[in-house]
Amino acid sequence: MIKSMTGFSRQLVELGTDVLSLEIKGVNNRYLDIVVKVPEDFSFIEEEMKLLIKSYIKRGRVEVRLKGKNNLQPTGQEINKEFLLSLVEQVRNISEELNLDAPVNIQSLLLVDGVIMDKRGIMEESLVKEQILFALRNALHEFDTMRFSEGQRLKVDIEERLMYINSLIQNIKEYSPSVVEEYREKLYQRVNKFKIEGLEFDENRLLAEIALFAERCNITEEIIRLESHMVEFNQSLNKKESVGRKLDFLLQEINREINTIGSKANNYQIAKLVVELKGEVEKIREQIQNIE
């Protein structure tokens, strides 16, 4: 299924009296790169957001921003025991190093920032998580719809170019047999000129020269491989999974065969067709850079 890697979506998240903004923006990237930016109060949901995004997006750089403040009201306060014990241990170690006999003053340590924290209701936090993930799903669905729509537009353009490329390949196939015949005709014209001038020539050498030229400029195998790549490319356009990287690889193979045809076929008409082919392939390559 052809999808673009670019898109944008925005959803609002209502949390009590506050309204948060959730935005998704996608741009081209060779691999999957997910960036989630949330306020510190919502860091507890960041990993779940990334997992949800991965279920929708397979390639590209996706940036998700959650803007707003956590309106959860504290239900009380609690001591960060792990942090407090760490502070006590550090104070004791310093006292030993300095040979001090002063007792650890817990009350002083309680004033250290981060020791006493606001305690938030578990149910409220789970509700916030549920609402944010719900909004993210809606945003991803909207984002995916936009990417699909853009992808279909790209697909139509690519399919039209593929049809034109196939017609150019058929023209090359029609010109191909005449390459050797034209070369044979030129050689025999030279031979006839030698005859008129009374010069001798080796018939076997002439035939060997024609055979060698025919082998050198034979592009049958290249055309067969080129047509095979074209069929696979066209089939990949209709697959359900992410195909951007595969299309990019196939296009490299197609371009390689076209270059070989251009270097082997000693013919002006074929050379013109090869230039036209390379131009169309480059246009498709530009389109593929935006396909997931």
DSSP single-letter state for residue 103: P
Average predicted confidence (pLDDT) for the chain: 85
pLDDT above 90 covers a percentage of the chain that reads: 52
Could you tell me the residue ranges of all domains in the chain?
A: 7-71+121-149, 74-120, 154-288
Q: How far apart are CA 270 and CA 171, in angstroms?
A: 8
Q: List, for residues 99-122, the tens digit of each pLDDT value.
A: 877 777 888 888 888 788 766 544
pLDDT above 80 for 72: no
The string of pLDDT tens digits covering residues 180-233 is 677 666 766 666 665 555 556 666 666 666 666 666 778 888 999 999 999 999
Contact 12, 5 (CB under 8 A): no
pLDDT at site 195: 58
| Contact indicator for 12, 132 with CB cutoff of 8 Å | no
The dihedral through the CA atoms of 236, 238, 242, 244 has a sign that is positive
Task: Report the distance separating Cα 59 and Cα 36, nearest Å.
Answer: 16
Distance, CA of 20 to CA of 34 (rounded, Å): 20
Give the position of tokens 């690519």.
158
Which residue in 114, 108, 40 sits closest to 83, CA to CA? 114
What's the confidence (pLDDT) of residue 121?
47
- The pLDDT value recorded for residue 193 is 62
Closest CA relative to residue 244, chosen from 7, 25, 32: 32
Which of 149, 130, 151, 138 lies closest to 243, judged by CA? 151
- pLDDT-derived band at 90, boundaries 50, 70, 90: confident
How many Å from the N-terminal Cα to the C-terminal Cα in the chain?
A: 9
| d(C-alpha 139, C-alpha 149), whole Å | 15
Listed residue (71, 66, 25, 11) closest to 43, CA to CA: 66
Q: How far apart (Å, rounded) are the C-alpha atoms in residues 36 and 63?
A: 6
Q: How confident is the model at residue 253 (pLDDT cuts 50, 70, 90)?
A: very high
Cα torsion 273, 276, 282, 288 to 10°: value is -80
Q: Do residues 60 and 99 lie in contact, with contact meaning Cβ atoms separated by under 8 Å?
A: no
Tokens 């990417």 belong to 147
CATH number of 7-71+121-149: 3.30.230
Kind of pairing between the strands at 32-37 and 60-67:
parallel
Q: What is the pLDDT of residue 178?
A: 75
| Main-chain dihedrals φ then ψ at residue 214, nearest 5 degrees | -60, -40
Per-residue confidence (pLDDT) for residue 41, from 0 to 100: 81
Among 204, 181, 175, CA closest to 271: 175
CA distance 275 to 253: 16
Which tokens hold the place of 64? 């998700």
User: How many helices and strands, by DSSP H and E, does the chain display?
Assistant: 8, 6
